[in-house]
Chain A
Amino acid sequence: MTTARVLEVVPFVSPDAYETGRTVRAAHGVDLANLANFAALGHPSQVLHFGKILDEGTYSAYFTPLPGVVDYLVLAGWLQFKIYDTGATCNLTIKVYDLSGNSYSAPAPFDGTFEFRPGRDVPRNDAATSIQGIFSVDAMVAAGLDTSDDSWRFEVDVNYTVPYVPLVGPHIILDGLTVFELPRRTVNTADPYGVLPGAFLPLAPIVDVGQVQGVLKALEGAYNSSLRTYLSLAVSEENGALYTTQGAVDGSLDNLEETGTTPITFWCRPRYLRGTTSRFRFQVRYKVNGDDAEVKITTAAGSYTITLVDSGGAWADSTVGTGYFTCTGPGDTDSMVVTGSAVAGACTLSAITVWEYPE
């Protein structure tokens, strides 16, 4: 294992420097290595946004695990009092699950035992109200989570000692809760992506084919690993305003309607890589009883459905669906709407995540 720092700036490198007939210099390789490393390791983009949490209970969001590329997940939250109450505290239990149900349980203070509480009369977004946690992806792998899975589920269980009741008395809430991937600061030859810039020495012949392959490999990593989360919706499984349908025909979901039965339109700017479309994955947390149900995402490129297998009324993770946004060049935006149907009874969703899946 050999390491080097990721150069966290983007130097100006002209294509003219790589013209046919020019003398190859060490800087040519060094520049390419630095650019490729920063593109691959310095720009992780998955963001699990739970937003403001008024209701206690279990919240979920999905992401693609990227061990060896992303080493840490960062949790950031903010607490607020409506009216100060010395007894009002919040505790969080964090778990991560793979598709087979193997789980990682975060250590203290995220094991449900620690009571978070901000100071009195602290303004919004003040550092004194914040909660920070850093979770090691290696620890999740060590706990037995399958790194070959298409997705893992990040679960937050929120408990308040004085819960929120609209218009009533003192209480505490999480003003915001977000989980994001921490960029890498080092290149490590033991990891799948990254090349040592120092391998390109002045006056030294390029004898190791791995040097040049390392640049191309790092660019593969930049292509495959900087995944955008396009939609991350989560409500409390126990107490939230769940996304529900009872219709046998595809239609809008309760609590995801703009007006009447018109579903809410969600906008995004897909990462443009090549071609005329941008591929995404989507997955939901659901329960249905009596028969299968369906959830559908419609974009400008088409409609994409996943079948929600009868879960007997218990919460379950859906299979991972695949779809496309229309995206013909940098700067294009697309939109999506989420609809569903249930053959028998109600189909209920507590989490919907849509995230990038490069092809």
Chain B
Amino acid sequence: MPSLLSRVLLVPTVGGADCFARANQPLGAGLAQIALNNAHHLLAENSLRHLMTYPGPKEVWTNSASNAEFPWDRYYDSTDGTGGGVLVVATGPIVLRKYGDSGLWPKVTWKFRWHCGDNSGTKQKITIVTQVARWGEHPRNASYSLQSTTYNDSDTTFVTASLTTDLGVGLNTQSVPFNPAQDPAESGTLPIMRAWAGFYCEANNKSYSGEVAGVACYLEENP
């Protein structure tokens, strides 16, 4: 459940002269409630984090036959004419934690600035495709729901948009072994994933390219 106060309630410094838990002080329900509230709130907020930012701006002008067939392997920037035209950005590995005690994975949000291309007054739609893959798994083969949104309501002026992906209860994250040799007590496995976003434009002509800038990816609460 969410914390009672939806915020942290600060208490005097632990061990200080005013510490609520100093010696010979009665241990009341109030202190336990504060501790529980703070623990709930911090567990929920600490399970979220900022993952990456890609500055851009980058032009996109190449179309994709479908979202499912998005060319994830075009790993060069769109400035590279032969392999470019789409933009692919990805986070590094993410150590996932369930959102608080909800039992749900956090949501992944991509927030960015964009404008689409203009072909003699006809706006050339830009589409973002998002995907979540396990560490070491190709994004095309990822088993999680592929999501997308198409934009066409701004031609030359950058505007802000965002797309939030719910990983769903079916997400079965990969456990990757970490075995630091120095301290066996710290060995174990972790649920790790990477998040991907691809942008393409229906123009299929660099003269009518759109642009994407300031792509940020972060985790959000769920539900």
Contact = CB atoms under 8 A, between A and B. Distances in A.
Contacts of A231: 50, 53
A328 to B, nearest CB: 10
B35 A32 contact: yes
B116 to A, nearest CB: 14
23 contacts: A10-B100, A13-B40, A15-B4, A28-B32, A32-B32, A35-B40, A36-B39, A45-B46, A52-B77, A72-B186, A126-B136, A134-B178, A136-B180, A167-B81, A185-B188, A212-B31, A216-B19, A232-B52, A258-B158, A266-B55, A266-B214, A274-B8, A331-B220
A175 B72 CA distance: 12
A211 to B, nearest CB: 9
Interface residues of A, number: 95
A47 B92 contact: yes
A180 B23 contact: no
Interface stretch (A85-93, A95-103, A218-226, A303-311): A218-226
Nearest to B156: A259
Contacts of B82: 167
Given A12-B1, A213-B22, 5 more contacts: A47-B51, A180-B93, A216-B21, A256-B55, A264-B56
B213 interface: yes
Most chain-A Cβ atoms within 10 A of its Cβ — which of B14, B40, B49? B49
B57 A12 contact: no
Contacts of A179: 92
Given A126-B136, A213-B21, A329-B6, A258 B214 contact: yes
A176 interface: yes
Cβ-closest 4 pairs across A and B: A178-B92, A127-B136, A43-B46, A35-B39
Contacts, number: 251
A273 interface: yes
B7 A272 contact: yes
Contact of B10 (A42, A185, A206, A274): A274
Interface of B: 1, 4, 6-11, 14-15, 19-23, 27-33, 35-40, 42-57, 72-73, 75-77, 79-83, 89-95, 97-98, 100-101, 109, 111-113, 133, 135-139, 158, 160, 162, 178, 180, 182-183, 185-188, 190, 194, 211, 213-214, 216, 218-221
Interface string A267-285: 1110111100000000000
Nearest to B33: A18
Contact of A49 (B19, B79, B92): B92
Contacts of B92: 47, 49, 76, 176-180
Contacts of B183: 71
Contacts of B160: 265, 267
Given A12-B1, A213-B14, A264-B113, A331 B221 contact: yes
Contacts of B211: 259
Contacts of B43: 10, 35, 38-39, 43, 222
Contact of B138 (A39, A126, A273): A126
Interface string A250-268: 0000011111001011111
B188 to A, nearest CB: 5
A258 B182 contact: no
Contacts of A256: 55
**Which one of B21, B37, B94, B219 has the greatest number of beta carbons of chain A within 10 Å?**
B21
B33 A15 contact: yes
Nearest to A230: B50
Given A19-B29, A76-B92, A267-B111, A45 B15 contact: no
A209 B21 contact: yes
B93 A76 contact: yes
A209 B22 contact: yes
Given A184-B186, A265-B160, A258 B213 contact: yes
B164 to A, nearest CB: 11
A254 to B, nearest CB: 12
Contacts of B187: 185
B28 A124 contact: no
Contacts of B20: 216
Contacts of B95: 180, 182-183
Nearest to A28: B32
Given A209-B21, A258-B57, A18 B29 contact: yes
Nearest to A255: B55
Contacts of B182: 136, 138-139
